[in-house]
Amino acid sequence: MRRIAGVWGLAALALTLGVGCKRKQGGGGGSGTGSGTGAGSATTADAAPAAALKPTDLPELPAAAALPAPPVFLNAPPENADNPTTPEKVALGYLLFFDKRLAGDGSMPCEGCHHPDKGWSSGAALDAKVGGAMNKRNAPTMLNLGYHTALYWDGRKPTIEATVEAAWQGQLGAKDKEAEIAAALNAVPVYRAHFWRAFGQDADQATIVKALAAFLRVLTAGDAPWDRYEKGDKAAVSEDAVKGFELFRSAGCAACHTPPLYSDMMFHQVGIGWDRPEDRRDHGRKDKTEARADDGKWKTPPLRNVALTAPYFHDGSVATLDAAIDVMLAGGANLGKVDNLDEKMEEVALKPAEKQQLRAFLEALTGTPTFTTAPTLP
């Protein structure tokens, strides 16, 4: 990281502040508007076809909880105009995220790689898919996805909806089994009632994707000690954390890890994985753009709740936060083997005590998610 004193990433604020849209606070399946990131998956309108008749034997559901408030440092996430967020969709998506019945073989929920107690990441370097094949990339946190401008480590998906559909079909093995899975959900009276309340129709591929996306759009983390400190509560963090923040700025970390999410949402090559033979390297952003300049570039991971999301980097190759700090302070990994190392990467020498202060600041970014436990499934 280069010494860039005073860098504080106002660009990230432009990406996140002022873009939230009002959400409907009740009733599912109604019309809605938003700034909209566009529909990235095969979805249909929320309303059921005119000929559909609501079943008369559905169980009564408790009222859906109000939408959680956005973090104090952000507006509400921008909406997808094809999938306006409602409490009813969120309540349904919350259940589906934890339900193994979404898998092609009924063996794994979305939560299988995104645990609440691991900062909504997996805690493993790599995870197996349904069927046993291993992923080649680390499962990132699901927190604050609604503010991301591109999804996945390589940015290949533009919306949460597109990401949900890809993960459901690939990770959970639901490809070509979507209708079968939807039918199984419709056979559960409580689930059928949820889908009719949220979408005015039975479950299908599109409404499953939309419900999951609605839940993830409001899965945020805020109220971190550092947020309270910046709001005036000077007792919220330690003196080490305050000194660590100054080191974070002076060491150039904020050049890419810009607040309020502590990511510029851009793609950078820092050398991770470049010790492997050419035919075994993961080429990252290049897989999406096919541009040689993007070889080995990855989206800057946000640092909120980073203390909970070990192991680190796109391949999970760095086991601890201390080791990840060392890699970045060294100016990257596999130096001398990377011909397109990001220009911002430079070695910064810190004393052991200063490294601990930097870590204290990163730990002070741990906030409380809007959802912290698993629901009771029907």
- Whether 316 and 260 share a structural domain: yes
Structure tokens belonging to residue 236: 């919220």
Angle at 46 between CA 41 and CA 47, to 5 degrees: 145
pLDDT at 50: 53
Q: Which of 194, 219, 244 is the last residue of a domain?
A: 219
Return d(Cα 153, Cα 143) in angstroms, integer.
14
Q: Which of 167, 192, 219 is the last residue of a domain?
A: 219
Per the DSSP assignment, residues forming a β-bridge with 222 are 368
In which residue are the tokens 């596999």 written?
A: 334
Return d(Cα 334, Cα 34) in angstroms, integer.
44
- Whether 185 and 239 share a structural domain: no
pLDDT digits (tens, 9 = 90+) for 317-368: 999 999 999 999 999 999 999 999 999 999 999 999 999 999 999 999 999 9
pLDDT digits (tens, 9 = 90+) for 268-281: 999 999 999 999 99
Buried b (16+ CB within 10 A) or exposed e, 217-248: bbbbbbbbbbbbbbeeeeebbbebbbbbbebb
Range of the domain at 152: 78-219
Evaluate whether 223 touches 82 at the Cβ level (below 8 Å).
no
**Which CATH number covers residue 203?**
1.10.760.10
How many domains, the chain?
2
Categorize the per-residue pLDDT at 46 as very low, low, confident or very high, splitting at 50, 70 and 90. low
Return d(Cα 140, Cα 123) in angstroms, integer.
10
In a domain, 166, yes or no: yes
Average pLDDT over residues 180-202: 98
In a domain, 70, yes or no: no
- The model carries a pTM of 0.86
Helical axes 189-199 vs 205-217, angle rounded to 10°: 80
In a domain, 7, yes or no: no
In a domain, 32, yes or no: no
- Whether 229 and 343 share a structural domain: yes
Angle at 77 between CA 38 and CA 27, to 5 degrees: 85
- Whether 86 and 193 share a structural domain: yes
In a domain, 358, yes or no: yes
Rg of the chain (C-alpha set): 21
- Whether 189 and 306 share a structural domain: no
In a domain, 73, yes or no: no
- Whether 294 and 210 share a structural domain: no
Q: Is the dihedral of CA 25, 59, 200, 92 positive or negative?
A: positive
- Whether 123 and 240 share a structural domain: no
Return d(Cα 167, Cα 161) in angstroms, integer.
10
Q: Which of 177, 202, 219 is the last residue of a domain?
A: 219
Categorize the per-residue pLDDT at 52 as very low, low, confident or very high, splitting at 50, 70 and 90. confident
Q: Among 28-37, 160-169, 170-179, 183-192, name the one with the lowest average pLDDT.
A: 28-37
- Whether 251 and 192 share a structural domain: no
- Whether 275 and 163 share a structural domain: no
Cα distances (angstroms) measured from residue 356 to each of 18, 255, 322, 352, 361: 35, 20, 8, 6, 9
Secondary structure (DSSP) of 56-75: S-PPPPPPPPPPPPPPTTS-
- Whether 252 and 201 share a structural domain: no
In a domain, 241, yes or no: yes
- Whether 360 and 229 share a structural domain: yes
Residue 231 makes CB contacts below 8 A (sequence gap 6+) with 72
- Whether 298 and 356 share a structural domain: yes
In a domain, 93, yes or no: yes
